[in-house]
Chain A
Amino acid sequence: MMSQGVQVAGVYVRDQDEALKFYVDKVGFRVHTDVRNGDYRWLTVQHPDQPSFQLGLFVPGPPAHDAATAQTLRAVVAKGAMPPLVLMVDDCRAAYEQMHGRGVEFTQEPVDRYGTVDAGFRDPSGNGWKLIQARR
Protein backbone atom coordinates (compact mmCIF):
# COMPACT_ATOMS: atom_id res chain seq x y z
CA MET A 1 0.00 0.00 0.00
CA MET A 2 1.29 3.44 -0.92
CA SER A 3 1.70 5.91 1.96
CA GLN A 4 3.79 8.59 0.26
CA GLY A 5 3.18 10.43 -2.98
CA VAL A 6 0.88 12.95 -4.62
CA GLN A 7 -2.50 12.85 -2.91
CA VAL A 8 -4.38 15.80 -4.42
CA ALA A 9 -3.88 17.81 -7.58
CA GLY A 10 -6.58 20.16 -8.70
CA VAL A 11 -8.15 21.96 -11.61
CA TYR A 12 -9.91 25.32 -11.56
CA VAL A 13 -13.53 25.11 -12.58
CA ARG A 14 -16.11 27.84 -13.17
CA ASP A 15 -18.82 26.13 -11.13
CA GLN A 16 -18.35 23.29 -8.65
CA ASP A 17 -21.86 21.85 -9.01
CA GLU A 18 -21.45 21.72 -12.78
CA ALA A 19 -17.96 20.22 -12.46
CA LEU A 20 -19.16 17.61 -9.94
CA LYS A 21 -21.95 16.49 -12.29
CA PHE A 22 -19.50 16.34 -15.17
CA TYR A 23 -16.77 14.32 -13.49
CA VAL A 24 -19.15 11.97 -11.67
CA ASP A 25 -22.06 11.50 -14.08
CA LYS A 26 -20.18 11.80 -17.38
CA VAL A 27 -16.58 10.78 -16.75
CA GLY A 28 -17.32 8.15 -14.10
CA PHE A 29 -15.34 9.47 -11.12
CA ARG A 30 -16.79 9.45 -7.61
CA VAL A 31 -16.86 12.09 -4.90
CA HIS A 32 -14.08 11.73 -2.35
CA THR A 33 -14.56 14.85 -0.21
CA ASP A 34 -17.16 17.57 -0.33
CA VAL A 35 -17.04 19.89 2.66
CA ARG A 36 -18.02 23.51 3.11
CA ASN A 37 -16.87 26.24 5.39
CA GLY A 38 -19.03 29.30 4.81
CA ASP A 39 -18.69 30.11 1.09
CA TYR A 40 -15.62 27.91 0.75
CA ARG A 41 -16.06 24.40 -0.57
CA TRP A 42 -13.32 21.76 -0.63
CA LEU A 43 -14.37 19.33 -3.33
CA THR A 44 -12.37 16.38 -4.62
CA VAL A 45 -13.26 13.46 -6.86
CA GLN A 46 -11.36 10.32 -7.71
CA HIS A 47 -11.13 7.59 -10.25
CA PRO A 48 -12.71 4.39 -8.89
CA ASP A 49 -9.52 2.40 -9.67
CA GLN A 50 -7.20 4.95 -8.07
CA PRO A 51 -8.03 5.40 -4.38
CA SER A 52 -4.69 7.03 -3.53
CA PHE A 53 -5.27 10.07 -5.76
CA GLN A 54 -7.85 12.86 -5.62
CA LEU A 55 -8.61 15.42 -8.30
CA GLY A 56 -9.59 18.71 -6.68
CA LEU A 57 -12.30 20.82 -8.31
CA PHE A 58 -11.61 24.35 -7.12
CA VAL A 59 -13.23 27.66 -7.91
CA PRO A 60 -10.99 30.72 -8.22
CA GLY A 61 -11.99 33.29 -5.61
CA PRO A 62 -11.74 34.23 -1.96
CA PRO A 63 -10.05 33.49 0.34
CA ALA A 64 -7.20 32.38 -1.97
CA HIS A 65 -7.64 35.04 -4.67
CA ASP A 66 -8.63 38.68 -4.98
CA ALA A 67 -11.30 39.55 -7.54
CA ALA A 68 -8.87 40.47 -10.34
CA THR A 69 -6.77 37.33 -9.87
CA ALA A 70 -9.90 35.17 -9.81
CA GLN A 71 -11.07 36.77 -13.05
CA THR A 72 -7.68 36.10 -14.67
CA LEU A 73 -7.77 32.46 -13.59
CA ARG A 74 -11.32 32.02 -14.92
CA ALA A 75 -10.21 33.51 -18.25
CA VAL A 76 -7.12 31.29 -18.48
CA VAL A 77 -9.19 28.15 -17.86
CA ALA A 78 -11.87 29.22 -20.35
CA LYS A 79 -9.19 29.75 -22.99
CA GLY A 80 -7.98 26.18 -22.52
CA ALA A 81 -4.57 27.40 -21.38
CA MET A 82 -4.21 25.24 -18.28
CA PRO A 83 -1.78 22.29 -18.39
CA PRO A 84 -2.84 19.07 -20.14
CA LEU A 85 -4.48 16.27 -18.18
CA VAL A 86 -4.27 12.61 -19.15
CA LEU A 87 -6.85 9.95 -18.38
CA MET A 88 -5.63 6.39 -18.98
CA VAL A 89 -8.26 3.86 -20.10
CA ASP A 90 -8.23 0.19 -21.13
CA ASP A 91 -10.23 0.85 -24.30
CA CYS A 92 -10.19 4.36 -25.74
CA ARG A 93 -12.92 3.77 -28.32
CA ALA A 94 -15.28 2.22 -25.79
CA ALA A 95 -14.64 5.06 -23.33
CA TYR A 96 -15.19 7.56 -26.12
CA GLU A 97 -18.52 5.99 -27.10
CA GLN A 98 -19.71 5.93 -23.53
CA MET A 99 -18.64 9.48 -22.65
CA HIS A 100 -19.74 10.92 -25.97
CA GLY A 101 -23.12 9.32 -25.42
CA ARG A 102 -23.33 11.08 -22.06
CA GLY A 103 -22.72 14.43 -23.72
CA VAL A 104 -19.01 14.99 -23.11
CA GLU A 105 -17.55 17.60 -25.47
CA PHE A 106 -14.84 15.80 -27.44
CA THR A 107 -12.19 17.87 -29.14
CA GLN A 108 -10.68 14.89 -30.93
CA GLU A 109 -12.16 11.56 -31.90
CA PRO A 110 -10.11 8.42 -31.20
CA VAL A 111 -7.02 8.16 -33.41
CA ASP A 112 -4.57 5.25 -33.74
CA ARG A 113 -1.01 6.44 -33.34
CA TYR A 114 2.27 5.61 -31.66
CA GLY A 115 1.00 2.09 -31.07
CA THR A 116 -2.00 3.19 -29.00
CA VAL A 117 -5.29 5.07 -29.35
CA ASP A 118 -5.97 8.57 -28.04
CA ALA A 119 -8.85 11.02 -28.02
CA GLY A 120 -9.38 14.47 -26.48
CA PHE A 121 -12.16 16.07 -24.47
CA ARG A 122 -12.82 19.15 -22.35
CA ASP A 123 -14.69 19.72 -19.15
CA PRO A 124 -17.36 22.44 -19.17
CA SER A 125 -14.89 24.99 -17.77
CA GLY A 126 -12.33 24.43 -20.56
CA ASN A 127 -9.81 22.05 -18.96
CA GLY A 128 -8.45 19.77 -21.67
CA TRP A 129 -7.98 16.03 -21.25
CA LYS A 130 -6.27 13.42 -23.36
CA LEU A 131 -7.94 10.04 -23.20
CA ILE A 132 -5.17 7.53 -23.85
CA GLN A 133 -5.45 3.78 -24.15
CA ALA A 134 -2.97 1.97 -21.92
CA ARG A 135 -0.35 0.06 -23.89
CA ARG A 136 -0.55 -3.66 -23.43
Chain B
Amino acid sequence: MGTDASQDPELLRRLLRAKDRMDAASQEDWPVHRLARVSGVSAAHFARSFKQAFGVPPHRYLLTRRIERASALLRDTDLPVTAIAFQTGWGSLGTFGRVFRDVTGHTPGTVRSRGRAAARELGRVPVCALNAAHRPDLTIAVSEKRRRAAGRIKASREKEAS
Protein backbone atom coordinates (compact mmCIF):
# COMPACT_ATOMS: atom_id res chain seq x y z
CA MET B 1 0.00 0.00 0.00
CA GLY B 2 1.40 3.40 -0.95
CA THR B 3 1.46 6.50 1.19
CA ASP B 4 -1.42 8.95 1.32
CA ALA B 5 0.40 11.33 -0.97
CA SER B 6 0.40 8.73 -3.73
CA GLN B 7 -3.38 8.90 -3.99
CA ASP B 8 -4.80 11.07 -6.73
CA PRO B 9 -6.16 14.34 -5.24
CA GLU B 10 -9.18 14.16 -7.54
CA LEU B 11 -10.04 10.75 -6.08
CA LEU B 12 -9.42 11.99 -2.54
CA ARG B 13 -11.79 14.90 -3.11
CA ARG B 14 -14.50 12.45 -4.18
CA LEU B 15 -13.79 10.16 -1.21
CA LEU B 16 -14.13 13.23 1.02
CA ARG B 17 -17.62 13.74 -0.44
CA ALA B 18 -18.63 10.27 0.79
CA LYS B 19 -17.12 11.03 4.21
CA ASP B 20 -19.05 14.32 4.31
CA ARG B 21 -22.28 12.48 3.48
CA MET B 22 -21.72 10.11 6.41
CA ASP B 23 -21.02 13.12 8.63
CA ALA B 24 -24.24 14.80 7.53
CA ALA B 25 -26.46 11.74 8.04
CA SER B 26 -24.63 9.22 10.22
CA GLN B 27 -27.96 7.80 11.41
CA GLU B 28 -28.61 6.44 7.93
CA ASP B 29 -27.38 3.12 6.58
CA TRP B 30 -24.23 3.55 4.51
CA PRO B 31 -23.44 0.29 2.77
CA VAL B 32 -20.24 0.43 0.74
CA HIS B 33 -22.07 0.43 -2.60
CA ARG B 34 -23.96 3.59 -1.58
CA LEU B 35 -20.76 5.36 -0.54
CA ALA B 36 -18.99 4.15 -3.67
CA ARG B 37 -21.72 5.71 -5.78
CA VAL B 38 -21.21 9.08 -4.04
CA SER B 39 -17.50 8.88 -4.86
CA GLY B 40 -18.02 7.54 -8.37
CA VAL B 41 -15.84 4.45 -7.95
CA SER B 42 -16.40 0.70 -7.64
CA ALA B 43 -17.31 -0.72 -4.22
CA ALA B 44 -14.05 -2.68 -3.91
CA HIS B 45 -11.98 0.33 -4.94
CA PHE B 46 -13.91 2.56 -2.54
CA ALA B 47 -13.35 0.50 0.61
CA ARG B 48 -9.63 0.16 -0.09
CA SER B 49 -9.11 3.80 -1.06
CA PHE B 50 -11.15 5.18 1.85
CA LYS B 51 -9.10 3.29 4.41
CA GLN B 52 -5.89 4.38 2.74
CA ALA B 53 -7.02 8.02 2.71
CA PHE B 54 -8.59 8.32 6.15
CA GLY B 55 -6.91 5.55 8.13
CA VAL B 56 -10.07 3.66 9.06
CA PRO B 57 -12.53 1.56 7.06
CA PRO B 58 -15.73 3.41 6.15
CA HIS B 59 -18.02 1.43 8.48
CA ARG B 60 -15.76 2.13 11.42
CA TYR B 61 -15.65 5.81 10.56
CA LEU B 62 -19.46 5.80 10.55
CA LEU B 63 -19.47 4.21 14.00
CA THR B 64 -17.27 6.98 15.45
CA ARG B 65 -19.59 9.60 14.00
CA ARG B 66 -22.65 7.94 15.52
CA ILE B 67 -20.98 7.78 18.93
CA GLU B 68 -19.94 11.40 18.57
CA ARG B 69 -23.48 12.48 17.77
CA ALA B 70 -24.91 10.39 20.56
CA SER B 71 -22.42 11.93 23.01
CA ALA B 72 -23.39 15.42 21.86
CA LEU B 73 -27.09 14.63 22.32
CA LEU B 74 -26.41 13.19 25.77
CA ARG B 75 -24.54 16.35 26.75
CA ASP B 76 -26.77 18.94 25.10
CA THR B 77 -30.31 17.59 25.29
CA ASP B 78 -32.67 15.96 27.76
CA LEU B 79 -33.71 13.26 25.29
CA PRO B 80 -34.00 9.81 26.85
CA VAL B 81 -31.10 7.47 26.06
CA THR B 82 -33.45 5.20 24.11
CA ALA B 83 -34.47 8.06 21.83
CA ILE B 84 -30.83 9.01 21.30
CA ALA B 85 -29.94 5.43 20.42
CA PHE B 86 -32.58 5.24 17.71
CA GLN B 87 -31.95 8.77 16.48
CA THR B 88 -28.27 8.08 15.95
CA GLY B 89 -28.78 4.94 13.90
CA TRP B 90 -28.76 1.97 16.24
CA GLY B 91 -31.31 -0.79 15.83
CA SER B 92 -31.47 -1.60 19.53
CA LEU B 93 -30.71 0.04 22.87
CA GLY B 94 -28.59 -2.96 23.88
CA THR B 95 -26.28 -2.66 20.89
CA PHE B 96 -26.00 1.08 21.41
CA GLY B 97 -25.04 0.75 25.06
CA ARG B 98 -22.49 -1.97 24.36
CA VAL B 99 -20.80 -0.21 21.44
CA PHE B 100 -20.87 3.10 23.31
CA ARG B 101 -19.05 1.58 26.28
CA ASP B 102 -16.62 -0.28 24.03
CA VAL B 103 -15.70 2.87 22.13
CA THR B 104 -15.68 5.52 24.87
CA GLY B 105 -15.01 3.43 27.94
CA HIS B 106 -18.02 5.02 29.65
CA THR B 107 -21.74 4.37 29.84
CA PRO B 108 -24.10 6.82 28.13
CA GLY B 109 -25.30 7.87 31.60
CA THR B 110 -21.79 8.82 32.74
CA VAL B 111 -21.16 10.86 29.62
CA ARG B 112 -24.45 12.65 30.18
CA SER B 113 -23.71 13.68 33.75
CA ARG B 114 -20.06 14.63 33.06
CA GLY B 115 -21.01 16.60 29.95
CA ARG B 116 -23.54 18.66 31.89
CA ALA B 117 -20.86 19.72 34.36
CA ALA B 118 -18.46 20.82 31.59
CA ALA B 119 -21.04 22.29 29.17
CA ARG B 120 -20.91 25.82 30.52
CA GLU B 121 -17.23 26.15 29.55
CA LEU B 122 -17.72 25.36 25.87
CA GLY B 123 -20.06 28.01 24.53
CA ARG B 124 -17.40 29.92 22.61
CA VAL B 125 -15.88 27.09 20.56
CA PRO B 126 -17.31 26.60 17.04
CA VAL B 127 -19.45 23.47 17.08
CA CYS B 128 -17.47 21.62 14.43
CA ALA B 129 -14.27 21.94 16.43
CA LEU B 130 -16.11 20.99 19.57
CA ASN B 131 -17.50 17.82 18.04
CA ALA B 132 -14.17 16.87 16.49
CA ALA B 133 -12.48 17.30 19.85
CA HIS B 134 -14.91 14.83 21.35
CA ARG B 135 -14.66 12.37 18.46
CA PRO B 136 -13.78 8.92 19.78
CA ASP B 137 -10.39 7.83 18.52
CA LEU B 138 -11.41 4.51 17.08
CA THR B 139 -8.22 3.19 15.57
CA ILE B 140 -8.96 -0.43 16.43
CA ALA B 141 -12.07 -2.41 15.64
CA VAL B 142 -14.77 -2.46 18.29
CA SER B 143 -14.61 -6.26 18.39
CA GLU B 144 -10.86 -6.04 19.03
CA LYS B 145 -11.41 -3.46 21.78
CA ARG B 146 -13.98 -5.75 23.38
CA ARG B 147 -11.58 -8.68 23.17
CA ARG B 148 -8.77 -6.69 24.82
CA ALA B 149 -11.09 -5.50 27.58
CA ALA B 150 -12.20 -9.09 28.19
CA GLY B 151 -8.52 -10.09 28.32
CA ARG B 152 -7.82 -7.42 30.93
CA ILE B 153 -10.74 -8.56 33.08
CA LYS B 154 -9.55 -12.16 32.78
CA ALA B 155 -6.00 -11.17 33.70
CA SER B 156 -7.11 -9.24 36.78
CA ARG B 157 -9.30 -12.15 37.88
CA GLU B 158 -6.36 -14.51 37.54
CA LYS B 159 -4.26 -12.08 39.56
CA GLU B 160 -6.85 -12.03 42.31
CA ALA B 161 -7.03 -15.81 42.28
CA SER B 162 -3.27 -16.31 42.65
Contact = CB atoms under 8 A, between A and B. Distances in A.
Interface in A26-69: 68
A79 B24 contact: no
Contacts, number: 59
A113 B127 contact: yes
A114 B4 contact: no
Given A84-B129, A120-B128, A78 B12 contact: yes
Q: Is the interface of B mostly helix, strand, loop or mixed?
A: helix
A132 B124 CA distance: 12
Interface stretch (A3-11, A90-98, A122-130): A122-130
A100 interface: no
| Interface size of A as a range | 20 to 34
A66 B123 CA distance: 42
Contact of B5 (A14, A75, A84, A132): A75
Interface string B116-138: 00000001001111000000000
Contact of B24 (A68, A107, A124, A126): A107
B5 A72 contact: yes
A118 B127 contact: yes
A14 B20 contact: no
B126 A78 contact: no
A78 B12 CA distance: 5
A122 B9 contact: no
B53 A79 contact: yes
B127 A107 contact: no
Given A14-B13, A80-B16, 14 more contacts: A71-B9, A78-B9, A78-B13, A79-B4, A79-B12, A80-B19, A84-B129, A86-B126, A114-B123, A118-B126, A118-B128, A126-B16, A130-B126, A130-B128
